């Protein structure tokens, strides 16, 4: 199976079987965020999950979380957000728009509630490689994940039969799953070893024939990045943003999870980003109707329309 449909099917399976926020394509680097992109991330809820879900369904900007804007006296965002004045205003506007900040009478902003730092606990990263006969950079990618240890556990998901030779080529700490997309069966070939996510790590930046470039990453830097990963996963989820504008495209369910893009002409799930007029089966039409919020709400701890704290606002004036 191609990697994209394999990844979507695995996400639907994880959403159906795990009590976690499931998301795709999350940055997994610290010093070089684009250095590593994690295929799938599962964010397991912590004791304050309900408090986080009650704030907003969107990703809260890091700068807003770390700002000196509190829940009491209103503050000028330029003074309270550690950024250039223009960027501070943009951060404040976004935080107001999603309901994390509110504008106060007379100017300034304040939080609608305190940010719950303990809303998530473990993060599990999953690398997808349906065909181990074509591993690509799999070994290096998994060594990066194990050395940096941003996730509490790392697993490899594949459809291939797993041999001892395969296991010997990847870090011992990485768990291995054999996943069958057609049946939804997941077999644990090797259990993952917990990583030291709360300690310092080593980020592998690049490898050359005679050297490996690395960066030491502190526990505090990792903690900040983990929160960012969890926030992006919370707001993003795993479903594609848009569906193909084609009569052959359908929005279907897998394991009870709706919102998967299926092509009747190809007979498989497809990546909407690669669909278009160049496809021989393309038949121009409006994209199929799908409600991602409705498909996601209630299947995980994510809440589409929280009551109480979050108050969305539109048509905001720019902060002066």
Find all residues with CB under 8 Å of 106, minimum gap 6, and list them: 74
For residues 116 and 46, give the distance between their C-alpha atoms in angstroms, rounded to a whole number: 10
* Alpha-carbon span 120 to 53, nearest angstrom: 11
The strand pair at 120-128 and 153-158 is best described as: parallel
Q: Under a CB-based contact definition with an 8 Å cutoff, are residues 101 and 107 in contact?
A: no
Question: Contact 234/59 with Cβ under 8 angstroms?
Answer: yes
Q: How far is residue 246's CA from residue 286's CA, in Å, rounded to a whole number?
A: 6
CA distance 31 to 300: 31
Mean pLDDT of 303-319: 58
Which of 205, 135, 146, 144 shows the shortest CA–CA distance to 175?
A: 146
pLDDT in tens, 84-100: 999 999 999 999 999 99
Spatial contact of 41 and 188, defined as CB atoms under 8 Å apart: no
Say yes or no to pLDDT of 318 above 50: no
Q: Which among 92, 13, 82, 63 has a CA at the least distance from the CA of 227?
A: 63
Tokens, residue 74: 């209103």
d(CA 237, CA 27): 13
C-alpha 186/C-alpha 183 separation (Å) is 9
Q: What pairs with residue 123 in β-bridges?
A: 43
Torsion sign, CA atoms 80, 81, 82, 88 = negative
β-bridge pairing 120-128 and 109-111: unpaired
Q: Are 231 and 237 in contact (CB under 8 A)?
A: no
Query: Which residues lie across from 68 on neighbouring strands?
Result: none
At residue 256, the pLDDT reads: 86
Q: What is the pLDDT of residues 9-26, one digit of tens each?
A: 999 999 999 999 999 999
Cα separation, 46 vs 20, in Å, equals: 10
Q: What is the pLDDT of residue 192?
A: 98
Q: Is the pTM of this model over 0.85?
A: yes
Measured between its terminal Cα atoms, the distance across the chain in Å is: 53
Q: Give the least confident one: 65-79, 105-119, 303-317.
A: 303-317
Mean per-residue pLDDT for 255-277?
Answer: 91
Question: For residue 181, is it left (φ>0), alpha (ψ between -120 and 50) or beta?
Answer: alpha
Residue 54: Cβ within 10 Å count = 18
Average pLDDT over residues 252-281: 91
Residue found by looking up tokens 């495209």 in the block: 249
Count Cβ neighbours within 10 Å for each residue of 72-95 and write b for 16 or more, e otherwise: eebbbbbebbebeeeebbbbbbbb
Q: Which of 38-47, 193-202, 206-215 has the lowest mean pLDDT?
A: 206-215
């Amino acid at each position: 199976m191609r990697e994209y449909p394999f990844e979507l099917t695995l996400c639907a399976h994880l959403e159906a079987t795990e009590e976690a926020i499931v998301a795709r394509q999350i940055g997994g680097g610290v010093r070089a965020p684009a250095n590593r992109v994690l295929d799938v991330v599962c964010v397991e809820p912590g004791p304050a999950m309900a408090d986080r879900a009650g704030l907003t369904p969107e990703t809260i900007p890091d700068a807003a979380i770390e700002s000196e804007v509190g829940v009491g006296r209103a503050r000028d965002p330029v003074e309270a957000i550690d950024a250039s004045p223009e960027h501070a205003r943009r951060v404040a506007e976004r935080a107001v728009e999603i309901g994390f900040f509110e504008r106060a009478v007379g100017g300034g902003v304040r939080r609608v509630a305190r940010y719950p730092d303990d809303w998530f606990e473990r993060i599990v990263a999953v690398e997808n490689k349906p065909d181990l006969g074509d591993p690509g950079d799999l070994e290096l990618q998994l060594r990066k994940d194990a050395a940096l240890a941003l996730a509490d556990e790392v697993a490899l998901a594949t459809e291939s039969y797993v041999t001892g030779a395969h296991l010997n080529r990847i870090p011992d700490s990485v768990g291995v799953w054999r996943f069958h997309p057609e049946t939804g069966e997941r077999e644990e070939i090797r259990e993952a070893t917990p990583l030291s996510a709360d300690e310092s790590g080593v980020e592998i930046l690049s490898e050359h024939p005679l050297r490996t470039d690395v960066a030491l990453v502190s526990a505090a830097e990792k903690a900040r990045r983990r929160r960012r990963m969890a926030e992006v996963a919370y707001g993003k989820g795993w479903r594609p943003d848009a569906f193909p504008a084609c009569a052959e495209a359908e929005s279907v369910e897998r394991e009870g999870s709706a919102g998967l893009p299926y092509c009747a002409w190809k007979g498989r799930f497809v990546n909407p980003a690669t669909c278009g007029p160049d496809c021989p089966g393309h038949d121009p039409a409006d994209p199929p109707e799908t409600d991602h919020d409705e498909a996601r709400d209630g299947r995980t701890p994510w809440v589409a329309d929280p009551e109480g704290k979050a108050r969305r606002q539109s048509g905001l004036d720019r902060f002066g």
